[in-house]
């Protein structure tokens, strides 16, 4: 019985195994990036950058249809353009960077939907907005796994400056010249992982696998390494459980995965030992001399 519910779908169906590999790769790559974004107070910026990918992907769609590399390159170009453009506007004017990102995000979302609608059908629009995690082919799966591998490699090389740039960028600039390269490398990793998430979950849900596990993990630990491991574990677990929920209930797989991650966040808010609601209600022993 337990086998039929948990192992059976992945053992019997090739598309479920592909989807599982895809969401596990997304969890491994996006989990640590989500933790760094949370440390930088850029949680909402991730959502804005995810939507910023849409116009580039739409241009790729107009040029070559649902072509993997055309949409990937278009999404990466659009993501980098918005990230760098918002930062440039914030530095050249009195506008805060979050407000600049919000403006770019709204324009990008509207422009992307308009471009897809010019040539594609409602099915194509749904594909771009919500992804097709149950229809991942070999090239798309290879792209997602490659992005996760590149992410882990860059994190291994630049972990210390990335963390320092997240916590105290002023100090990093005063003792090293690695500040600007680290920031650019971090933006590149964010865009890459959002592009990978876009192919599986669409532009509207791609950031969910990045931010929800990281935010949920924050209620269980204050130690950075533990946060990263917990974020990856929650992301991968949410992906696998979301696929099972989708398979057994017939609901769309992308929203199911993000809702499971949202459930992990709710449980963390309630029961997490670091700032959770219920542990705060439990009386603590007073310090004794």
3-state secondary structure at position 87:
helix
Least confident among 7-21, 28-42, 113-127: 113-127
Inter-residue contact 76 to 56 (CB < 8 Å):
yes
pLDDT band at 288 (very low <50, low <70, confident <90, very high): very low
pTM of the model: 0.88
Exposure string for 23-53, b = 16+ CB within 10 A, e = fewer: bbbbbbbbbbbbbbbbbbebbebbbbbbbbb
Structure tokens, 107: 């324009």
Judge contact between 210 and 197, C-beta under 8 A. yes
Reported confidence tier of residue 156, pLDDT bands at 50, 70, 90: very high
Angle of CA points 251, 213, 203, to nearest 5°: 55
- The gap from C-alpha 82 to its chain's centroid, in whole angstroms, comes to 17
Q: Which residue's structure tokens are 């950031």?
A: 207
Place of tokens 């199911």: 256
The CATH number, out of the four listed (3.40.50.10490, 1.10.3470.10, 2.60.40.10, 3.40.50.2000), of the domain defined by the range 2-274: 1.10.3470.10
88-103 pLDDT, tens digit per residue, is 777 777 777 667 777 8
* 47 neighbors 206 (Cβ within 8 angstroms): no
CA 159, CA 165: separation in Å to the nearest integer? 10
Axis crossing angle, helix 138-167 with helix 68-92, rounded to the nearest 10? 20
Which of 48, 52, 39 minimizes the C-alpha distance to 99? Answer: 48
């Amino acid at each position: 019985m337990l086998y039929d519910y948990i192992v059976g779908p992945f053992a019997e169906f090739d598309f479920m195994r592909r989807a599982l590999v895809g969401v596990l790769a997304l969890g491994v790559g996006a989990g640590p990036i989500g933790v760094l974004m949370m440390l930088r107070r850029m949680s909402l910026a991730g959502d804005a950058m995810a939507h910023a990918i849409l116009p580039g992907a739409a241009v790729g769609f107009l040029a070559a249809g649902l072509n993997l590399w055309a949409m990937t390159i278009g999404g990466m170009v659009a993501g980098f353009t918005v990230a760098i453009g918002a930062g440039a506007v914030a530095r050249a004017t009195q506008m805060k960077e979050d407000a600049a990102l919000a403006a770019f995000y709204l324009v990008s979302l509207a422009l992307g939907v308009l471009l897809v609608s010019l040539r594609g059908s409602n099915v194509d629009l749904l594909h771009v907005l919500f992804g097709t995690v149950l229809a991942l082919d070999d090239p798309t799966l290879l792209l997602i796994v490659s992005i996760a591998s590149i992410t882990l490699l860059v994190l291994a090389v630049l972990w210390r400056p990335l963390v320092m740039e997240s916590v105290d960028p002023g100090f990093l600039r005063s003792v090293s010249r690695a500040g600007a390269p680290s920031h650019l490398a971090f933006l590149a990793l964010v865009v890459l992982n959002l592009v990978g998430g876009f192919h599986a979950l669409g532009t509207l849900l791609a950031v969910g696998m990045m931010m929800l596990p990281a935010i949920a993990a924050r209620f269980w630990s204050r130690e950075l390494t533990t946060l990263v491991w917990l974020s990856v574990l929650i992301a991968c677990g949410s992906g696998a459980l979301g696929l099972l929920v989708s398979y057994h209930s017939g609901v769309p797989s992308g929203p199911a995965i993000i809702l499971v991650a949202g459930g992990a966040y709710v449980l963390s808010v309630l029961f997490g030992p670091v700032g959770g609601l219920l542990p705060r209600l439990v009386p603590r022993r007073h310090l004794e001399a």
